[in-house]
């Protein structure tokens, strides 16, 4: 079974949690919600780019996803998006699509890992 630490950058998560002020809404929770919303749109943009065989659109969407994932602490998504971006910039949409499949497979597990961290503040739970 996958551990949240396999999917998330716990150093980034810790840094975001350190910004939390007592009595205020969860900083990490707000960042994760924004990442999920923007990520869903970027996944759709990637699918559209692949459907249109538009390497530039794929590279641009992957770049945005890579950055957003890194900022939120979604390491596995960021790393796979980096591969998508690099392959698309080289015009290799087959390789980009293979890396995109990894993002799609990890996406629900990453969101679950974030939920585990938000629930108890640690990454002790396993992700299915």
One pLDDT digit (tens) per residue for the chain, 128 residues:
566 678 999 999 999 989 989 888 889 999 999 999 999 999 999 999 999 999 999 999 999 999 999 999 999 999 999 999 999 999 999 999 999 999 999 999 999 999 988 886 544 434 44
Model pLDDT, residue 120: 63
Q: Where are the domains of the chain?
A: 4-17+26-120
Burial 86-103 (b: 16+ CB within 10 A, else e): bbbbeeebeebbebbebb
pLDDT tens digits along 1-37: 566 678 999 999 999 989 989 888 889 999 999 999 9
Architecture in CATH of 4-17+26-120: Up-down Bundle (1.20)
């Amino acid at each position: 079974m996958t551990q949240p630490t396999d999917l998330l950058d716990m150093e980034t998560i810790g840094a975001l949690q350190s910004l939390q002020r007592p009595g205020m809404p969860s900083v990490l929770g707000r960042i994760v919600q924004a990442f999920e919303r923007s990520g869903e749109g970027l996944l759709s943009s990637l699918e559209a780019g692949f459907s249109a065989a538009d390497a530039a659109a794929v590279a641009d969407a992957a770049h945005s996803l890579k950055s957003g994932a890194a900022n939120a602490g979604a390491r596995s998504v960021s790393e796979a998006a980096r591969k998508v971006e690099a392959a698309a910039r080289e015009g290799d949409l087959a390789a980009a699509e293979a890396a995109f499949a990894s993002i799609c497979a990890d996406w629900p597990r990453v969101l679950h890992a974030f939920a585990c961290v938000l629930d108890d503040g640690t990454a002790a739970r396993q992700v299915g």
